[in-house]
Amino acid sequence: MNRRTIILASRSPRRVELLAQLGVHCEILPADIDESCLLGEDPAVYVQRLAVAKAQAIHAAHSQRGLPILAADTTVALGNEILGKPADAAEAMAMLTRLSGSLHEVHTAVAVMHQGQVQCLLSTTRVQMMPVPLAALQDYVASEEPMDKAGAYGIQGRAGAWISRIEGSYSGVMGLPLHETAQLLNAW
């Protein structure tokens, strides 16, 4: 086994790219779990629960492979409200309208499971989005870029121009905080 090969419990091309920056090769085996939020669940607790559940789901089916399993989950939180991936253009527009001019948080949890043990770390980044003109939001939604992203935006894409400052991990906002990921992988 190459110690630099892991199983990634995600379809995210951004996570694959970020792992490559760490010199880690991954086999992609997305986890299919219920990602529903529990009533009153804190956004930080929510992403940690999902990251661990994804790692455990893949471990249950592929533990015989002996590879570490990395799973992650990201959400945008406006106060205690979780803004996941929009279901359609109308929901994306509603999320972006609320985020425009806001200070919000992006939580990304990373879990690594290996040899029956799981460890999870959380990255929380405070993000300031400038007030964005309605026409710019409409153009962005029409591009379909926000459709597969928590909070309906990607900092690494066109919406990055609207982010006036962050406090925390840029890669965490992208969906995989490199510092925390490296810490977990180095532990194995």
Q: What amino acid positions are annotated as catalytic residues?
A: 73
Which H or E run includes 105?
Answer: strand 103-114
Of the candidates 32, 72, 74, 58, the one whose C-alpha atom is nearest the C-alpha of residue 114 is: 58
Q: Which sign does the torsion angle of CA 39, 43, 49, 50 carry?
A: positive
Residue with tokens 């940690």: 48
Is residue 187 classed as helix, strand or coil in its secondary structure? Answer: helix
